[in-house]
Structure 1
Amino acid sequence: MDLNNAPVSKNLIIINVLIWLAFEVMHRMGIVLDSMFALHMFAASDFRWYQLITYQFMHGSFMHVFFNMLAVFWFGPVMERTWGARKFLFFYVFCGIGAALTQELVQYIYYFQIEHLDRYNAVMIDNVAIPVNSYLNFMQTVGASGCVFGILLAFGMFYPNEQMFVFPIPFPLKAKWMVAGYAAFELVTGMKAAVGDNVAHFAHLGGMLFGLLIILYWKKYGDYRLPLGLEPLINENCPKERNIFNKIKNLFAGREKRDFKVHKNESFSEKKTEKRQQPRPKRDPEIDAILKKVRESGYDSLTTEEKRKLFNGY
């Protein structure tokens, strides 16, 4: 797959690989930052809201980052060219956040509604009593898999009949069946393993679910629409009335400065006020043309006469 015309996909792969390498080096040096950037359960003391994004760029092993970025390499450029760079990046991060929220919900249901962990002060692990809060901090989720499963879903919806080989199946499958198969596998495996294994199966499904929701939203309201005034994230030509960032900017914008007048000398104040109200003289169109030439071709492109007019008439 050519990444030359898919800058977001290319940069996502580079960033994820570099971050994984950096964390590997730091781990070998005894520097562990997982408690800061990995996704924690919301009830844990180490949970931070920014982890909904940072966890997407962390991976637990070489194979983890390799297969995730391989999927981005295969499917990312296709969807990036379909949507455009800005919309594709939003979709990628949005699916990752959706996967994180799904994982949070599943963990809450399992540990608090089924296991009733909130009724205990400690958890026994290998005959060692660990405080519940410390135990919750051990539950960390990392990886871009939720983003990747969202991309897979989008590919299956936009190119459902594309033929693909999926190891170890010896014959090609249509993309829509491949996506359905992955979803079914994650659901069955997740239900069987609950949240006890080391794979966040429901986070994968959450990435697909949130990807499905935003695609259906775009189909209903328009390809470049978002609720809550967030449209500028995917639409650079967003009208001002639908731009929440413009509204926030206006809230903090200073009031228009008024003319400051001193009334000790009334005649002096009137003269100064009249002078301020006079319109600025219009600049010579010929000077504007010369300035445009400087911007486009540089100062050395001017003739001697043009240089003279520029300095004498500006």
Structure 2
Amino acid sequence: MASRTPGYELRFGPPMVPVVRTLIFINVICFILQLLTKLTLQSPLAELYFGLSPELVFRGWVWQLVSYAFLHGSFLHILFNMLSLWMFGSELAEMWGERAFLKFYFFTAFLGGIGTITAQFFGIPQGIVVGASASIYGLLVAYGMTWPNRELLVFLIFPMRAKYFVMIVMLMVLFAQGERVAHFAHLGGAIGGVILMKLYTGWRGTKSTLPSWSLSRYLQKRRFMRYQEEMAKRENAKTKVDELLEKISKNGMESLSRKERKFLNEASQKYFNE
């Protein structure tokens, strides 16, 4: 059920897209395996190997920087995260496309892991972190930046625009109390969301779609920029050489300073002997 007016939309939930359905399915399966492991082995083996433990990451268990996002601490934990993934991720995935959505999802999870181990490195104990919350907070940020004036029903009761809802959630991240709250994972995911949205839409851009990023296109852009810089240097050098040659023709070689002679020699070797 939805009601649309210009600038915002009142809704209870979007249609679920395949990539979001797949991620929810994987998270649920992983949670079930967690429970079975605890019941059969009487040990949190899944959390020990695949949860995010900063001490183990520092020893080389780098897969934990992503794998932790597919484990959860309780039924309510996974329920809240999967509902959020459905409600805030489905429209973004439909707009961006599956590949771009997955890149966003994994990058924000990874940055949440980086935030956790960074806090540990600076002496803030983190314990073992699990949950998809870093990616969820990244998606919340992306949702609020894409549709800032869309009106949401918070707790199905209070209407609130998306941008204000995201601001309140971010403040809750900063001031939430409790040892089991992964503050720095949440913060890292939110920062990752801002970074990707700004990279894809531009720092001055408004609402737009998220294109598929590729390393080859990035490197090609860098090569083109270096080519432009080199051409600008050549043009400047040519102008300077012409001025010095004019000076020589009028006053002779002795009129050049040591610095001007050095420049003329280097420019002739670099730009005019090819």
Cα 1:239–1:106 change in 2 (3 A) is closer
Equivalent positions of 1:120-135 (< 5 A) are none
| Residue in structure 2 matching 1:140, options 128, 146, 153 | 128
Matched, 1:85 2:90: no
Amino acid at match of 1:230: L
1:225–1:80 Cα change, 3 Å: closer
Give me the whole-angstrom Cα distance separating, in 2, the residues matched to 1:35 and 1:43: 9
Counterparts of 1:178 and 1:220, CA distance in 2: 23
Q: What is aligned with 2:153?
A: 165
Decide whether the 8 Å contact of 1:35 with 1:46 is kept in 2: no
Conserved 8 A contact 2:95-2:210:
no
Give the aligned partner of residue 81 of structure 2.
68
Check whether the contact 2:57–2:64 (CA below 8 A) recurs between aligned residues. Answer: no
Q: Alpha-carbon deviations, 1:46-87, whole Å to 9, x = none?
A: 661011111010011111111100101111111001111110
Write the mapping of 1:156-305 to structure 2, written as runs, cut at 5 A: 156-167=144-155, 170-189=157-176, 193=177, 197-220=179-202, 223-224=210-211, 226=213, 230=215
The letter of the residue matching 2:105 is Y
Q: Following the alignment from structure 2 to structure 1, what is the Cα–Cα distance between the partners of residues 158 and 78? A: 27
Q: Alpha carbon RMSD of aligned pairs, Å?
A: 2.6
Q: Measure, in 2, the Cα distance between the counterparts of 1:82 and 1:225.
A: 11
- Matched with 1:18 is 29
Give the 5 Å matches for 1:27-42.
27-30=38-41, 32-42=45-55
Aligned with 2:112: secondary structure?
A: helix
Structure 1: any 5+ residue segments left out of the alignment? 113-135, 232-237, 243-314
The answer to whether the Cα contact below 8 Å between 1:53 and 1:93 also exists between their aligned partners in 2 is: yes
Mapped to 2, the partners of 1:152 and 1:45 lie a distance apart of 30
C-alpha contact 2:57 2:65 (8 A) present in aligned 1: no
Provide TM-score, normalisation by structure 2: 0.67
- For residues 44 and 95 of structure 1, do their structure 2 counterparts lie closer, same or farther at Cα, with a shift above 3 Å needed? closer
Assess, with a 3 A threshold, how the Cα gap between structure 1 residues 17 and 160 changes in structure 2: closer, same or farther: same
Q: Check whether the contact 2:99–2:212 (CA below 8 A) recurs between aligned residues.
A: no
Residue in 2 that maps onto 1:274: none
- Residue 202 of structure 1 and its aligned partner are, at CA, apart by 2.1
User: Which structure has the bigger radius of gyration?
Assistant: 1
**Cα distance in 2 between the residues matched to 1:45 and 1:2:** 41
1:50 aligns with 2:63: yes
Farther off after superposition, 68-77 or 100-109:
100-109
Q: How many Å apart are 1:29 and its aligned residue?
A: 0.2
Decide which structure has greater helix share. Answer: 2
Is the 8 Å Cα contact of residues 116 and 185 (structure 2) preserved in structure 1?
yes
SS at match of 2:164: helix
Query: Partners of 2:149 and 2:67 in 1: how far apart?
Result: 34
Report how many aligned residue pairs link the two structures. 201
For the 8 Å contact 1:36–1:46, the answer to whether it is kept is no
- Cα 1:164–1:223 shift into 2, 3 Å: closer
